[in-house]
Copies of this chain bind each other. A is one copy, B any other.
């Protein structure tokens, strides 16, 4: 049996996404797709949200993931930012829920801890580790790297006995 994870790092202008496949007996998961959904600064918020949902819907149609993991929102500078972050996250959740995927949420710190070994790792370190762990030829951009890291975290944590003590939230 193989697992296919859709991992998402939602943001209104740059949403990172990745689809990782983990086949039984395979040590390293295969990235089937990853990238960043970019919305121009000139685009209205409603159009950005629709673009996120529609792009992810297309990724789901193409790669047929059976699980979903998203980055949780922890630190926010202001209420305005929180509203926008919540909105981008909603656009991602709607695409995943529509496809009937179970969705798990991982705090950014937990993702960094899992992939880099340090909860305070910076974005370059995350991208570097993701590249090394997946054997990619190129270093992915920060948003795609974050999504790949979320997918890796989900695969590690959902198969680790220790993680069962502190399971990720289901949203």
Copies, count: 2
Q: Which of A46, A76, A93, A170 has the most CB of B within 10 A?
A: A46
Asked whether, in the complex, the Cβ of B97 is within 8 Å of the Cβ of A46, the reply is yes
Stretch in A15-23, A34-42, A82-90, A121-129 with 4+ CB within 8 Å of B: A82-90
**Interface range, A side:** 20 to 34
A84–B86 Cα distance when bound, in Å, is 6
Report if A44 contacts B (CB, 8 A): yes
A50–B86 Cα distance when bound, in Å, is 14
Q: Give me the interface of A with B, judged by CB distance under 8 Å.
A: 44-47, 49-50, 53, 73, 76, 79, 82-91, 93-94, 96-98, 103, 170-171
